[in-house]
Amino acid sequence: MERYDIAIIGTGPAGVSAALTAKNRNKSILLLGSRQMSEKVAKAHEIRNYPGLPFVKGEDLAAAFRDQLDRMEIPVMESRIGAVYAMGDYFALQAGEEMLEAKTVILATGVVMAKTLPGEEELLGRGVSYCATCDAPLYRGRRAAVIGYSPREEAEAAFLAGVCSKVTYFPMYAENTDLPETVEVIREKPEGILKAETGLRVKTAAGEYPADGVFVLREAVAPGQLVPGLETDGPHVKVNRRMETNLPGVFACGDLVGTPYQYVKAAGEGNIAAISAAAYIDKKAKE
Amino acid sequence: MVKKVNTQEFQNEAMKAPVAVADFSATWCGPCRMLAPVLEEISEKYEGKVAFYAVDVDESPELAMQYRVNSVPCLVLLKNGEFVDQSIGFRPAPQLTAWIDGNL
């Protein structure tokens, strides 16, 4: 398997800028994201402070990013990265069933403002799980509750129904659910997860629901969850001026590292992150 | 070296070691597969000081129950058979060694 010099996660201004700079430094790049670039950029009405592109429409800026990547011969791989593991001298990126490898990683995913539920983080790994297909066998014959933030998560609840004695599903969306009959659907908003005598309880305004395992399934993955061991500060990743995180070889840039959430600031940080990653690789090669 | 053990061997060896780290994992768990080589490397550093074991939660569900393993991978640190601490999920090597050192 090819081990890339730099894996860049995200195709907004930070990720694209990092990719262009890394290419200039003759590094092999794995750019992970979307050919549509960034939804946030594409939806921007008009950007007035991006130097060289006066009054550019968001969709035109996204198209310009795509064109520049094409001309620099940088392909975009449209894979969703589930986790990044620090293996010592390289990083393993889980893309579905596939594992990709890179010497360094630049995180440019944008910021996710998902608030966790009270009790969720404290009980993570102690009954709370983010992956039904991963931890389901530990709850064989026991009770599971699923808090699903999109209809896509219903598949995981259906999977649990085949393993657990009882599954309670809390849809966090308005659409009708399509689940096996054995799954109990509760249309109440969870307010927190509590520890009970045995197992846990999901608390809503109307009552409490016991479960041995509570699966909280969101579309967006928090950065500390994406990269185990990564130091974060709320929704942001902690970095220094060189865009270095606490994990050697992992860099972060753009909205992910904090305000101001400006396109031009993100692009500048992407540039720094790529230069830092290239310097890290060159230093490692000399060792 | 990380030694794979069944329940019996765990009781005979890990429970009697001055310091033991047991990796509770499962064949179907992605992060467990990534943690295993990291732990293997760490175990070399602690040779003669800390004994490392791997427990398959499907083969030894009673051990997983006993140590309240609700998520895998889960590292359990024992001193003379007594539970001291646990570490949940994948963690990079420097953080794992800091965790072990902090419990020695």
Contact B92 A94 (CB under 8 A): no
Residues A210 and A78 in one domain: no
Contact A137 B74 (CB under 8 A): no
Tens digits of residue pLDDT in A148-193:
998 989 999 999 999 999 999 999 999 999 999 999 999 999 999 9
Contact B68 A126 (CB under 8 A): yes
Which of A8-22, A62-76, A132-146, A244-258 is the least confident region?
A: A132-146
Q: Count Cβ neighbours within 10 Å for each residue of B33-59 and write b for 16 or more, e otherwise.
A: bbbeebbeebbeebeeebbbbbbbbee
Per-residue model confidence (pLDDT) at position A143: 96
Q: What are the tokens at A262?
A: 């400006």
Higher pLDDT, A15 or A125: A15
**A123 within domain boundaries:** no
Contact B30, A87 (CB under 8 A): no
Contact A247 B64 (CB under 8 A): no
Per-residue model confidence (pLDDT) at position A92: 97
Residues A151 and A34 in one domain: no
User: Where do the structural domains in chain B lie, given as residue ranges?
Assistant: 2-103
The C-alpha atoms of residue A69 and residue A78 are separated, in whole angstroms, by: 14
Does the pLDDT value for residue A114 go beyond 80?
no
Which residue of B34, B57, B88 is in closest CB contact with A85?
B34
Q: What band does A125 get if pLDDT is binned at 50, 70 and 90?
A: confident
Q: What band does A98 get if pLDDT is binned at 50, 70 and 90?
A: confident
CATH topology of domain B2-103: Glutaredoxin (3.40.30)
Whether B74 sits among the annotated catalytic residues: the reply is no
Which position among B2, B21, B32, B76 bears the catalytic label?
B32
End-to-end CA distance of chain B: 19
Which residue of A85, A124, A126 is in closest CB contact with B90?
A85
Would you give per-residue pLDDT tens digits along chain B (104 residues)? 999 999 999 999 999 999 999 999 998 888 999 999 999 999 999 999 999 999 999 999 999 999 989 889 999 999 999 999 999 999 999 999 999 999 99
Whether B29 sits among the annotated catalytic residues: the reply is yes
Give the end of a domain, one of A217, A238, A256: A217
Average pLDDT over residues A45-54: 94
**pTM, entire model:** 0.86
What mean pLDDT value characterizes chain A?
94
Cβ neighbours of A100 (radius 10 Å): 20
ipTM of the complex: 0.91
Residues A95 and A18 in one domain: yes
Residues A7 and A148 in one domain: no
**A interface residues, B as partner, C-beta within 8 Å:** 82-83, 85-88, 92, 94, 124-127, 129, 134-135, 137-138, 213, 228-229, 247
Strands B2-5, B51-56: pairing is parallel
Residues A26 and A97 in one domain: yes
Cβ neighbours of A191 (radius 10 Å): 15
Does the pLDDT value for residue A220 go beyond 80?
no
CATH number, domain of A180, equals: 3.50.50.60
Does the pLDDT value for residue A132 go beyond 80?
yes
Name every chain A residue with its beta carbon within 8 A of the beta carbon of B29: 134-135
Chain B: give the shortest CA distance to residue A208, in Å: 21
Per-residue model confidence (pLDDT) at position B6: 97
Count up the domains in chain A and report the number.
Answer: 2
